Amino acid sequence: MKRTATLIGATGLIGGHLLDILRTDVSFEKINLIVRRPLDIDYPNVTVKVIDFNNQDQFRKALENTEVFFCAIGTTRKKVNNDKNAYRKIDYDIPIHAATISKELGCSQFVIVSSVGADSSKKNFYLRFKGEVEDRLRELNFPSLLIFRPSLLLGKRSEKRLWENEGQSVMKAISFLLPQRYKPVQAAQVARAMVEAAKKYPPGVNIYYYREIMNNQS
**Whether residue 126 lies in the annotated active site:** yes
**Whether residue 49 lies in the annotated active site:** no
> Are 163 and 122 within 8 A, CB to CB?
no
Query: What is the largest distance, in Å, between two alpha-carbon atoms of the chain?
Result: 49
Which long-range contacts link 129-132 to residues 24+ away (Cβ below 8 Å)? 129/87, 129/88, 129/91, 129/92, 130/91, 132/92
> Are 217 and 192 within 8 A, CB to CB?
yes
Q: What is the C-alpha separation between 14 and 144, in angstroms, rounded? A: 21
* Alpha helices in 23-124, H assignment, sequence order: 56-62, 84-88, 94-104
Q: Which residue in the list 43, 49, 89, 126 is annotated as catalytic?
A: 126
* Alpha helices in the chain, H assignment, sequence order: 13-22, 56-62, 84-88, 94-104, 125-140, 162-174, 187-200, 210-214
Q: What angle do CA 156, 159, 163 make, to 5 degrees?
A: 75
> Are 133 and 96 within 8 A, CB to CB?
yes
Q: Which residue in the list 130, 183, 208, 210 is annotated as catalytic?
A: 130
Active site residues: 126, 130
